[in-house]
């Protein structure tokens, strides 16, 4: 009994010492079989992600795996250890069957301010945009390749020797959350607050999307007056209206084009010798927006086709060529149209 009281006093003294050494904020301690990781959570700029992490860590957020009150991350395996890049943990199913652990997904919180520019960044793993769950990683070095794809919600401040020493199937013993200051102590993680942050992030994302598309529409209205408007947001400005055949579905076309990003830089073009590209309308090889634009043209025509990002490569972009949420512009010549023979 005396030993238990002594241990409790030591923990309280340690927590008070920790608080005195830190400025106001929300901090974490991750106790593992190899040692202790400590750091800060970005609750002001990543409230949704931190709400999920804190709620699971403290057992205050409903999830499909454990009952309320059970600390989600305690005793989980560190089931993925990349020697030079990162560790990964946070899924009770250890990546074996596709289950996401928490039973819910939440929206990304990504910007150009907090990046993977150092070791010790905590981020949520995902399966694509807005599919964050319980699973998270900690980087071992700067990893710019992850920027703009994953939500970073915290940063280590100590324990790097432990981080670099992890091996496959080491264990998280316990995650402790420390709040310092009035604002931090007012930050609670429940189903209700999580839903509020989720809705706020959704609305923020929707407004960003509207702004991106509105910027393209304003540009077209200013510099390409008279451009046709389609219900999907695609705009077509006819530099020269062709007099040949229209473009139905399932037909073969030959085109020459230059393709531009929204900053006017070229990301693609047909053969520089002038040989047109042969492709098929309706087989899914072209983006929906480009197909719609071509179908507004006649054979022999030349047009500028402006494509809002949601009709191009959407939320994810395309490899390293097209960033996420990027409007596109094509200057396209429809050389020939050949309808499919029955």
User: What CATH number does residue 243 fall under?
Assistant: 3.10.50.40
Tell whether 286 and 154 lie within a shared domain.
Answer: no
Q: Tell me which residue of 230, 199, 247, 195 sits closest to 310, measured CA to CA.
A: 230
Tell whether 190 and 238 lie within a shared domain.
Answer: no
**Residue 110: Cβ-neighbour burial (10 angstroms; 0-12, 13-18, 19+):** buried
What is the mean predicted confidence (pLDDT) over 85-89? 96
Tell whether 300 and 328 lie within a shared domain.
Answer: yes
Check pLDDT > 80 for residue 97: no
Percent of the chain with pLDDT over 70: 92
In a domain, 273, yes or no: yes
In a domain, 208, yes or no: no
Domain end point (choices 152, 176, 201): 201
Split into its structural domains, the chain has a count of 2
Tell whether 171 and 114 lie within a shared domain.
Answer: yes
* pLDDT tens for each residue of 220-232: 999 999 999 999 9
Check pLDDT > 90 for residue 6: no
Tell me if 90 sits within 8 A of 73, measured CB to CB: yes
What is the mean predicted confidence (pLDDT) over 254-272? 91
pLDDT band at 340 (very low <50, low <70, confident <90, very high): low
Domain end point (choices 166, 201, 236): 201
- Listing DSSP states for 107-165 in one string gives -----SSS-S-STTEEEE--SSTT-B-S-EEEESS--GGGTTTS-EEEEEEE-HHHHTT
DSSP secondary structure code for residue 45 in this structure:
T
Tell whether 160 and 236 lie within a shared domain.
Answer: no
Tell whether 229 and 160 lie within a shared domain.
Answer: no
For strand 121-124 and strand 152-158, is the pairing parallel, antiparallel, or unpaired? antiparallel
What is the mean predicted confidence (pLDDT) over 47-53? 97
pLDDT band at 7 (very low <50, low <70, confident <90, very high): very low
Tell whether 193 and 225 lie within a shared domain.
Answer: no
In a domain, 154, yes or no: yes
Tell whether 154 and 251 lie within a shared domain.
Answer: no
Q: Which CATH number characterizes residue 170's domain?
A: 2.40.100.10
Tell me if 102 sits within 8 A of 65, measured CB to CB: yes
Q: Tell me which residue of 329, 338, 312 sits closest to 239, measured CA to CA.
A: 329
pLDDT band at 206 (very low <50, low <70, confident <90, very high): confident
In a domain, 115, yes or no: yes
Tell whether 232 and 315 lie within a shared domain.
Answer: yes
What does the pLDDT read at residue 99? 62
In a domain, 183, yes or no: yes
Domain end point (choices 143, 169, 201): 201
Check pLDDT > 70 for residue 287: yes
Which residue range forms the structural domain that includes residue 101?
2-201
In a domain, 206, yes or no: no
Check pLDDT > 70 for residue 341: no
What does the pLDDT read at residue 292? 96
Tell whether 196 and 222 lie within a shared domain.
Answer: no
Check pLDDT > 90 for residue 273: no
Check pLDDT > 70 for residue 141: yes
pLDDT band at 294 (very low <50, low <70, confident <90, very high): very high
In a domain, 207, yes or no: no
What does the pLDDT read at residue 305? 97
Check pLDDT > 70 for residue 195: yes
pTM here is 0.71
What does the pLDDT read at residue 284? 86
Check pLDDT > 90 for residue 13: no
Tell whether 79 and 221 lie within a shared domain.
Answer: no
Q: What is the mean pLDDT of the chain?
A: 90
In a domain, 210, yes or no: no
Look up residue 327 and give its two tokens. Answer: 């409007």
Cβ atoms within 10 A of the Cβ of 221, count? 13
The residue that leads in pLDDT, 100 or 16, is: 100
- Calpha distance 310→109 (Å, rounded): 19
Tell whether 173 and 83 lie within a shared domain.
Answer: yes
């Amino acid at each position: 009994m005396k030993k238990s009281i002594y241990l409790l006093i030591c923990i309280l003294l340690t927590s008070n010492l920790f608080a005195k050494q830190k400025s106001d904020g929300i901090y974490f301690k991750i106790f593992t079989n190899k040692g202790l990781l400590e750091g800060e959570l970005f609750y002001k700029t990543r409230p949704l992600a931190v709400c999920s992490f804190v709620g699971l860590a403290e057992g205050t957020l409903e999830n499909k795996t454990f009952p309320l009150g059970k600390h989600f991350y305690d005793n989980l395996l560190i089931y993925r250890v990349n020697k030079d890049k990162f560790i990964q943990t946070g899924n009770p199913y250890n990546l074996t069957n596709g289950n996401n652990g928490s039973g819910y997904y939440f929206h990304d919180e990504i910007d150009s301010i907090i990046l993977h520019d150092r070791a010790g960044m905590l981020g949520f793993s995902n399966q694509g945009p807005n599919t964050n769950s319980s699973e998270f990683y900690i980087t071992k070095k700067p990893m710019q390749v992850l920027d703009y794809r994953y939500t970073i919600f915290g940063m280590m401040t100590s324990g790097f020797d432990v981080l670099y020493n992890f091996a496959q199937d080491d264990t998280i013993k316990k995650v402790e959350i420390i709040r310092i200051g009035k604002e931090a102590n007012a930050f609670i993680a429940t189903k209700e607050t999580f839903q509020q942050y989720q809705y706020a992030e959704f609305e923020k994302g929707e407004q960003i999307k509207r702004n991106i598309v509105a910027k393209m529409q304003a540009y077209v209205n200013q510099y390409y007056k008279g451009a046709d408007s389609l219900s999907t947001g695609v705009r077509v400005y006819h530099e020269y209206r062709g007099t040949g055949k229209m473009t139905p579905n399932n037909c073969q076309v030959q085109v020459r084009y230059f393709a531009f990003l929204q900053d006017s830089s070229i990301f693609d073009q047909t053969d520089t010798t002038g040989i047109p590209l042969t492709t098929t309308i309706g087989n899914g090889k072209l983006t929906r927006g480009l197909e719609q634009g071509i179908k507004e043209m006649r054979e022999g025509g030349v047009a500028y086709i402006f494509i809002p990002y949601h009709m191009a490569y959407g939320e994810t972009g395309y490899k390293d060529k097209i960033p996420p949420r990027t409007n596109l512009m094509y200057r396209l010549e429809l050389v020939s149209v050949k309808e499919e023979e029955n």
